[in-house]
Structure 1
Amino acid sequence: MALLWLLLLLALAGPVGGTWDSCRGTCGLRPLAFDHSSLVQDYNPSDDDYATLGSSDVTSLVRAGPGVPSGTWPGVVSIQAALENGTWHMCSGALIHPQWVVTVAQCFRGAGDISIYEVLIGATDLSQPGPKAELRHIQRLLKHQSYVAATARNNIALVQLDQPVECSDYIQLGCVPDSSLAVAELKTCYIAGWRASPESAPGPRLVLQEAKVRLIDVQLCNSSRWYGGAVHPQELCAGYPRGGIDTCQGDSGGPLICKDHVGDYFWLVGLASWGKGCAGEKRPGVFTSTQHFRGWIQVQLGVVSSNPAPTSTEPAPTPSLTPMLPLTPALTLTVIEGPPQPESDASITISFPKRMLLRFFQALQDFLEFLRDTMR
């Protein structure tokens, strides 16, 4: 019975991030996503024909659309430049900490004065952000030290906000996976970016839009008729072999998000980096893999020591506790019924992901706080 209660609490708890602030240690949540029907059609073509999609079959980021309901993707941010002729959307990014945004380094190529940049969080309409949105300035910009603009290698950057934000239904943290998550096995993935609304005439009105994509094997993506070896080991490909759905200009730094196999939460697995054209055949979008750079992110935020520094091409080893990102290494729990004996059937081994156990302890802590408050 105790084990059943444990499993129930694990199922009810969300993924653990460990920020222990207004976000209550959670990440990868979409509180409002279940209050509406997604504008993206649900489809699952066969493996032999999963790319035979016409331009009218699905919602695509390369075409204008009405936009998603407010709060659909609460971790997506707009990085904007305040210039003399107005404020303009430049790139996208994802909130991974109340005071940090992850994006791509190319957004700031040649940028000297970071004071011109603003970060808009929690909005789906850039012209009418609404009262739930938050605007911040950039306090610090950290581009990867080995970023190569010509090849988009190590194309990742961190932006520190001048003030932290508070999580809400409209603002949530993205979950950066560690090396234990099999990203390639995730089936339900999305991209999101801002597009001009068809109803925006006569002036521009950028609204957030979403589209479903599928992860594409990097070996296939790197084959001679595709990208011919230009895709780096730290990158992911997503889209469809015959095109039709893709990121495009203005989507740099935008998130590639995949739903977890088990729970109703989502992993931030990639950042829109580059591609040849938009939505062309055998030209899917190429994304910086956040999993590969998780160690670099932790070092920059001071979560783990920089000695030794993790490499950019291999996932960094996961520390025992991480106060920002979800943990997923497996932890084995052995239940012994009677004296242990070699090769005995009396020993039952049950494996839980560590993130699930941490979710349980978070749920237990919340329950104890609830009991304390009710007894006052």
Structure 2
Amino acid sequence: MQSASVILLLALVASVSCYRCTSTGNVNVTANGKQPINGQFPHHALLESDFAEGKRYCSGAMVSRQFVLTVAQCVQGATTVKVTLGANCLLEGGDNKYRYTFTALEYFVKEGFSDETFENDVAMVQFTDEEVRLPPWVAPVALPAVDEQHVSEEVFTSGYGLLSFSAESAADSLQFLKLTVLDYEQCQDEFQFVTPESGQFCAQREDAQPNCVSDVGSPLVVKRKGYMKYTLLGLTSFGQKFACSFGNPGALQEVRAHVEWVQSFLEDGEEVSTTPATTDAGPEEDY
């Protein structure tokens, strides 16, 4: 009887972790990650931006029930931005039906953003003018404290393996990987201009294995045992093309450098937590 229960449990796990997505037709795309179970990364947002030259996809992180934080290069100059929450698939249809799409009301690029150095490469996207009721598997991420340090820690990145803004190089489903936060000396071997003052840092897959998961704007998060929420450490900004091919470090915006700016958009009572609630259960061991 006990063995039958174990088999049933394994079947249930398989049913939530293995789902089929509508094919993008991009059969040669390999993101080298794992499919998450539904709700594993409840903060992950898919952004679809319309520009004069065409449509672009990227990622971001839900930081409140009205706003998504992403990188400025995803939205600056866009005529329309759509925000999709709760999706494990790039396109509609397939097994993953629990997606919520909003046409953004407005977006705000941080003053000082440079498309040459990618400093201040952050933007807030407002997808609704009032808090929306969403299911438990769609939830905001916690912001880091301004003095947090995570060098050498294991962290998670999630994305569709976009090698550029174009969906033509994206995988069908959301995927994730473990990365490690590098110290500045290691980061400067790849990007000399990344310093503690630049508001950027680097992360890399263990043993410099290829990492094709991260999109432009992909959230980099940490989740310690005993905490209910992930904490948002960074947003992928540049370098992911090299990481995909050769395992080079990717460069990210350091969210702790922008916490005050992010919170300035939030109404009273909507303040993002920098101290996630605790629970007796930690993250699953096989994440």
TM interval, short-chain normalised: 0.7 to 0.9
- Give the corresponding residue for 2:146: 179
Please give the residue correspondences for 1:217-232 in structure 2 after superposition, counting only pairs within 5 Å: 217-222=183-188, 225-231=189-195
- Give the corresponding residue for 1:12: none
**Measured at CA, do residues 205 and 192 of structure 1 come closer, stay the same or move farther in structure 2, by a change above 3 Å?**
closer
Please give the residue correspondences for 1:172-251 in structure 2 after superposition, counting only pairs within 5 Å: 172-184=139-151, 187-195=153-161, 206-222=172-188, 225-231=189-195, 233=197, 234-240=199-205, 242-247=207-212, 251=215
- Give the corresponding residue for 2:133: 166
Contact conserved, 2:141 with 2:229, CA < 8 A, in 1?
no
CA distance in 2, matches of 1:134, 1:76: 12
CA distance in 2, matches of 1:85, 1:103: 21
CA distance in 2, matches of 1:85, 1:229: 30
**Measured at CA, do residues 261 and 220 of structure 1 come closer, stay the same or move farther in structure 2, by a change above 3 Å?**
farther
- Give the corresponding residue for 1:7: none
Contact conserved, 2:33 with 2:177, CA < 8 A, in 1?
no
The two structures have a TM-score, normalised by structure 2, of 0.72
Contact conserved, 2:69 with 2:125, CA < 8 A, in 1?
yes
Aligned-residue offset at 1:232: 5.7
Please give the residue correspondences for 1:313-324 in structure 2 after superposition, counting only pairs within 5 Å: 323-324=270-271
- Give the corresponding residue for 1:144: 110
- Give the corresponding residue for 2:57: 90
- Give the corresponding residue for 1:252: 216
Contact conserved, 2:34 with 2:177, CA < 8 A, in 1?
no
Contact conserved, 2:157 with 2:179, CA < 8 A, in 1?
yes
- Give the corresponding residue for 1:81: 49
Aligned-residue offset at 1:275: 1.2
Please give the residue correspondences for 1:320-339 in structure 2 after superposition, counting only pairs within 5 Å: 323-328=270-275
- Give the corresponding residue for 1:318: none
Please give the residue correspondences for 1:1-376 in structure 2 after superposition, counting only pairs within 5 Å: 36=13, 63=31, 67-81=35-49, 90-111=57-78, 113=79, 116-128=80-92, 130-163=96-129, 164-184=131-151, 187-195=153-161, 206-222=172-188, 225-231=189-195, 233=197, 234-240=199-205, 242-247=207-212, 251-260=215-224, 262-275=226-239, 277-279=241-243, 283-301=248-266, 323-328=270-275
**How many residues end up aligned between the 2 structures?**
245
**Measured at CA, do residues 264 and 245 of structure 1 come closer, stay the same or move farther in structure 2, by a change above 3 Å?**
farther
CA distance in 1, matches of 2:35, 2:190: 31
CA distance in 1, matches of 2:53, 2:115: 27
Aligned-residue offset at 1:178: 1.5
For residue 208 of structure 2, give the secondary structure of its aligned residue in structure 1.
coil
The two structures have a TM-score, normalised by structure 1, of 0.57
Aligned-residue offset at 1:243: 2.5
Where structure 1 has 5 or more consecutive residues not aligned to the other structure, the ranges are 1-34, 40-60, 197-203, 304-321, 329-354, 361-376
Where structure 2 has 5 or more consecutive residues not aligned to the other structure, the ranges are 1-11, 18-28, 163-169, 280-287
Spell out, residue by residue over 1:90-135, the C-alpha distance to the aligned partner (whole angstroms, 9 max, x if none). Answer: 1101111101000000112433x2xx32111100012236442111
Contact conserved, 1:141 with 1:158, CA < 8 A, in 2?
yes
Contact conserved, 2:233 with 2:254, CA < 8 A, in 1?
yes
For residue 301 of structure 1, give the secondary structure of its aligned residue in structure 2.
coil
Spell out, residue by residue over 1:136-160, the C-alpha distance to the aligned partner (whole angstroms, 9 max, x if none). Answer: 0111110001101100001100000
**Measured at CA, do residues 283 and 131 of structure 1 come closer, stay the same or move farther in structure 2, by a change above 3 Å?**
closer
**Measured at CA, do residues 289 and 66 of structure 1 come closer, stay the same or move farther in structure 2, by a change above 3 Å?**
closer
CA distance in 2, matches of 1:83, 1:106: 12
Q: After alignment, is 227-236 or 142-151 more displaced?
A: 227-236
Same amino acid, percent of matched pairs? 22
**Measured at CA, do residues 277 and 81 of structure 1 come closer, stay the same or move farther in structure 2, by a change above 3 Å?**
closer
- Give the corresponding residue for 2:4: none
Which of structures 1 and 2 has the bigger CA Rg?
Answer: 1
Aligned-residue offset at 1:191: 0.5
CA distance in 2, matches of 1:227, 1:282: 14
Contact conserved, 2:45 with 2:84, CA < 8 A, in 1?
yes
Letter in 2 for 1:75: H
Letter in 1 for 2:180: R
Contact conserved, 1:213 with 1:245, CA < 8 A, in 2?
no
